[in-house]
């Protein structure tokens, strides 16, 4: 993790989004629109990324109106704040481990979205949406905020 914020780009050019949160995701999670949701006050409902075909560039930011930090989980039904990352944007995002990929991340590792809103190291070849910008020796059993850049 670099600094104490989720979004690190000095002059972000992406789009800020507000909506209703479903579940209890942590800031730094990948998010998606809940399919078929009914807008509440003109706002859609969002949940942690489920592995769907939706793009994985929407990230959850801390609730700045409540004074929340990067480690404060949202409460289901609350107003949530997100950011749509563009290529080159930098952020601290949650990275987890999966069977067969190990528990370490190296600088330059390619990361892809995983159901639950986490990034994981890309298994095999292919294109990933994010690149690790720092090395983490041990992710541990839970997730860890890691400094990444959007490809």
pLDDT tens readout for residues 110-139: 999 989 999 988 877 667 899 999 999 887
Q: CA geometry: angle at 139 spanning 123 and 60, to 5°?
A: 85
d(CA 30, CA 93): 8
**pLDDT of 127:** 73
Mean pLDDT calculated for residue range 25-44: 96
d(CA 20, CA 114): 21
Confidence (pTM): 0.93
Confidence label for 102 from pLDDT (cuts 50, 70 and 90): low
Asked if pLDDT for residue 36 goes beyond 90, the answer is yes
End-to-end CA separation in angstroms for the chain: 18
Contact 111, 90 (CB under 8 A): no
d(CA 82, CA 47): 11
**pLDDT of 55:** 86
């Amino acid at each position: 993790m670099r600094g104490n914020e989720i979004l690190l780009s000095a002059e972000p050019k992406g789009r800020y989004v507000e909506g209703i949160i479903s579940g209890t995701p942590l800031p730094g999670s990948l998010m998606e629109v809940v399919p078929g949701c009914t807008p509440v006050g003109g706002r859609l409902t969002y949940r942690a990324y489920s592995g769907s075909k939706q793009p994985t560039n929407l990230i959850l930011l801390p609730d700045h109106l409540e004074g929340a930090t990067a480690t404060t989980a949202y409460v289901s039904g609350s107003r949530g704040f997100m950011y749509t990352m563009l290529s080159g944007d930098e952020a601290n995002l949650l990275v987890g481990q999966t069977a067969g990929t190990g528990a370490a991340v190296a600088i330059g590792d390619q990361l892809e979205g995983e159901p639950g809103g986490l990034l994981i190291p890309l298994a095999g070849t292919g294109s990933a949406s994010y690149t690790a910008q720092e090395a983490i020796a041990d992710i541990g059993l839970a997730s860890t905020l890691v400094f990444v850049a959007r490809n």
